[in-house]
Structure formats: C-alpha cells, structure tokens
Structure 1
C-alpha cells in the first residue's frame, strides 16, 4: 500500500491554490527549493509525475489533480477527527479565530462575542477584520477557523475545502440627505425607482458597486454615479452634505444617525451574509457555539437565513 505523506500533500494542495512554487513557499514559510524537493519526493513515493514545466512556471498533471481530489477528502476527515477530539471538552473552553468584513464586525461578531463572554467565559474568540479574498486564504491555510463574507464573494458550495453556513439576509435601505424631498416619505412608500433621477454615491468597483448597480437595475434604471467612495464614513458624510443618495446595509445603520434612512419594502433589496468553515470542522463544539451565537446576533437585525 502506498505511504501517504500529509505534509507533502499539504504542500501540493497549497501549490494548486497559490499557482507558483514561490507563492507556495511564502504561504508555508518554506524556501522554494524545500517546496520543490518535497514535491519531488512525493512524486517518487506515489510513482507518478505531479508537475510539468510550463515556461517559467509549473503545471499540475492529471495525476496531481487525482491525488488532490482524494487529498481533500483526507483533510476533511482529519478535520472531523480534530472536531471529535475537541468534543471531549464540550466546547466550554478553547479558542476560535474569526475573520469578518468591516460591517459584520460591529453588527454580528461583537454582539456574539459579548453573549459568549456571559455564557461561556472560558471560550475565547479572536477577531480579524478582512475582506473575502483574504478571509478565505486565511481559512484555507488554517490561520482562522471561521470566515464571514457576502455570499456573492464566497467560494461556491461545490468547493470541497469549505462548508457554507447561511447567517443573514441583510436588507438594504436608502440613505438620503436630511433635507431631501423624499426624506419625509412615510414608511413603505418609497421605492428605488423614485430615486432614478438623483445623483448616487457608491464605490467605483468592488462588491458595493456591484450590489448598488444590481439593485437599481432590478428597479428599472441605471444609477448616475456622482461620487465614488468605498468606506461608510465617506459615503455617509457625502450623503449628509447633500451630494447624493446611497444604498446602505441595515447592519451599517448605526453609523447613519446624521442622514435620513428609509426602508425599501417594495423593492426588497438584500445582501446575503454567510459564515464558512473548513469542511469537516463545523461540528467542533467551540466552533458550533460561535456559529450559534452569530445566528442569534443576526436574528434581531434582519431575517435569519434559511
């Protein structure tokens, strides 16, 4: 029977994710030559060619992809083993590391941590603010245990490395200048189409630009972008100054005290927030408690995801 070297398999998996030997070495705190030697040794152990030269880079062979398919199942099973071992502590203690995007930290993560400090004071949650791309790199490398992101910017449900956990369907509201003609609209009366002729404020690129454009186009118009900003402080300052209108997630509503915020029940724009774990790790008691606390924090601020 073939002897499988888990350390070398992890190096191969990292190479498939990072694309180059140099990037793999950086991710694993190794030298490029050590990475190359480990992969050469793995190829000899398995008796197949794993890499082929492609210019100055390397390409994974079909045999390497076959090995990786089985490797993901092996690592998932090892995560389950770790989770079962952790179960002996009943999740009452331990450490869970969470990466989350900026608006999720105050709206979801902080309330969850506060609740857990009361119910499970020996359970420590370490929080790291990061956007989706970085969060999933951290999750894949084992530097965090849980990643919060928008569903639209998470790996697909078919990705064998992760388990996705729906958390929240976060409603989008419209932020208007305090003296805007529609600022006094009664609850439920305002529609996105009513704002088609006004200047809009949103990022030039990235998730919030995509969300704003998609919501407005679903309402039948293309928003006129008057100003570009990515941070909520800048966006809301411009709205307050009468420079335009903007969509804001309800999770960020606490920052919008100086502007008029109106719901859009007819259009019902939403963004979906998910948590993700490494596949097989979600049953670990401590991680399960954190997920439960996040779901409970999500429920008062929007519609809990199914």
Structure 2
C-alpha cells in the first residue's frame, strides 16, 4: 500500500490552486526548494510522478490529479473531525453515559437531557438505571462515564479511582392517611410519629434511610409492612395501614386520600452525589452534563 502523507498532499493541493511552486511556497510560508523537496518525497512514497515540466513551469500529472481526487474526501473528513473536535473542547459535542438510581432519572437526568438538547445539541447522553453498587462497578469498568448515587453508598474520598462531588440534599416528607390525626397539624416532627406503624422495604437503601432518620429523631420505627415500590407503599398508606417517608425528589403523586406532609423540625434529608473516574471531571462533555445536572436540581423546599 502506498504511504500517504497528509501534509504533503496539502502542498500538492495548494500547488494545484496557486499554479506555481513560488506562489505555493508563499501561500504556505515555505521556501520554493522546500516545496519541491516535499513533492519529490511524496512522489517517491506513492510511486508515481506528480509533476511534469511545462515550459518554464510545472503542472500536475494525471496521476497527481487522481491522487487529489481521492484526497479531497480525506480533507473533507478531516475538516469535519476538526469541527467536531473543536466542539468537543467547548463541551458542545461528545457522548456521556450516565448511570443513575431510579428516582434520580426522572427528577434530575431527564430535565438535564432536555436542557442539553437546547444548549448543547451535540452532546449525547445515554442513560442506564443502576443502583449504587452496580453504578460504581460500571463506572470502574468504563461502561458509564458518570454515576449518580446517594452519598451513603458512594465510595469514600480515599478511593483513588473516583472523583465524588455533592449534588443536592433531598428532603424526606411523610405520607399519612388523609384522616390521620396529624395530617393537618400545624407543626409536625418525625418524633410525633414514633408510635406509628411504618411501611418500608425489608432491606436495602430505603430501609436503611428510614431507620436512620427515625433513630436520629429518637426512636426505632416499627415496621408494619414491607414494600419497596412507591405505588405499593402509598396504596397501603391510603388504606390506613401505616405511614412512610418519601423522598421529595421522587415527586411521587399519591392517591387523594394520602397527605404528603413536610416535616417542620428534625427534617431528614438524603444527600445525592455525582461520581466520575478521577481526572474525567475535566472532560468538556462531562463538565457540560454535570453543569446541566446542577441546574436541574429542584429548588430547596
């Protein structure tokens, strides 16, 4: 296969446009002898004559015109690559693969993607729902570029693989039956519900969050029923089977017979963080997605 040299092909192309070696040298800020030497080297590399004498000047051979005909497609593709690379450097192009836990997808990732369609349509975001353990395995394996998780389940700052940064503090509200005596209370503390039957998962992140929040408020929650899906949890609350903590970010719309109450004191929160492979936070498309996620954060309640 012939040895193709882009720089020398550009010189040949300029010679076709300028018409003389002298004019080509001036256009490229080279000496005429350097232009001639580069074209002679290119002819040897390709194994065909590229120039022929034409009076006191030179002109391109038919082989040179054939070479340039094919080279034009290369030049065109390189122009596209230059434009795309420049857009990448500005954070306006590139693909970012995001692994995020279930409630973060509709509350944060989807609004961020919508905003990016307007501000940086060249940035493509691929979303994969994944809880913390899986998300960090995917991040370490290079299968996602950015992970969203709860801070309680994120790697520690001592982990050299990841750069972890806080994103938001998500308040936890209480779901009560509409006819509950405290549903209309002017002030509601978590400790006021110490004697209630609680609904949360038997294990996993949400069970840990519920137990930790209640214990911080001074009591251990009595688990009346176990469920992990919000539809099931709220249906049981509606039926008067118990109460439940619900993350504000989940934006859960409960049945009309469920009262969603904001805690006025000792309000628990869950902290959400972002993580990327260490050093990748400087990649322009990743920075653009991180910025979009920050802007997508709901206003504090």
Deviation per CA, 1:175-205, whole angstroms, max 9, x where unpaired? 111221111123xx00111111111001111
Equivalent position of 2:194 in the other structure? 196
1:1-80 maps to which residues of 2 (within 5 A)? none
Equivalent position of 1:62 in the other structure? none
Deviation per CA, 1:84-142, whole angstroms, max 9, x where unpaired? x8885311011110000001011111111111111111111111101001000100001
Paired residues of 2:249 and 2:298 also in contact (CA < 8 A) = no
Residue aligned with 1:289, SS: helix
Aligned-pair CA distance for 1:257 = 5.1
Paired residues of 1:177 and 1:240 also in contact (CA < 8 A) = yes
| In 2, Cα distance between equivalents of 1:229 and 1:103 | 16
Aligned-pair CA distance for 1:253 = 2.9
Deviation per CA, 1:36-80, whole angstroms, max 9, x where unpaired? xxxxxxxxxxxxxxxxxxxxxxxxxxxxxxxxxxxxxxxxxxxxx
Paired residues of 2:87 and 2:93 also in contact (CA < 8 A) = no
**TM value normalised by structure 1:** 0.68
Equivalent position of 2:284 in the other structure? 285
**CA-atom RMSD, angstroms?**
1.6
| In 1, Cα distance between equivalents of 2:201 and 2:213 | 14
| In 2, Cα distance between equivalents of 1:237 and 1:275 | 32
Equivalent position of 2:249 in the other structure? 251
Contiguous gaps of at least 5 residues in structure 1 = 1-84
Identify which of 235, 238, 260 aligns with 1:237. 235
Residue aligned with 1:298, SS: coil
Equivalent position of 2:261 in the other structure? 262
Aligned-pair CA distance for 1:299 = 4.3
Contiguous gaps of at least 5 residues in structure 2 = 1-84
1:77-226 maps to which residues of 2 (within 5 A)? 89-186=89-186, 189-226=187-224
| In 2, Cα distance between equivalents of 1:87 and 1:99 | 24
Q: Report how many aligned residue pairs link the two structures.
A: 216
| In 2, Cα distance between equivalents of 1:266 and 1:101 | 28
- Going from structure 1 to structure 2, the CA distance change for 1:126 and 1:193 (only over 3 Å counts) comes to same
Larger-Rg structure: 2
| In 2, Cα distance between equivalents of 1:144 and 1:268 | 33
Equivalent position of 2:16 in the other structure? none
Paired residues of 1:86 and 1:285 also in contact (CA < 8 A) = no
| In 2, Cα distance between equivalents of 1:255 and 1:101 | 19
| In 1, Cα distance between equivalents of 2:253 and 2:146 | 26
Residue aligned with 1:114, SS: helix
Higher relative contact order (CA 8 A, sep 6+): 1
| In 1, Cα distance between equivalents of 2:132 and 2:86 | 27
Residue aligned with 2:297, SS: helix
Deviation per CA, 1:17-48, whole angstroms, max 9, x where unpaired? xxxxxxxxxxxxxxxxxxxxxxxxxxxxxxxx
**TM value normalised by structure 2:** 0.69
Give 4+ residue runs of structure 1 displaced > 3 Å after superposition: 85-89
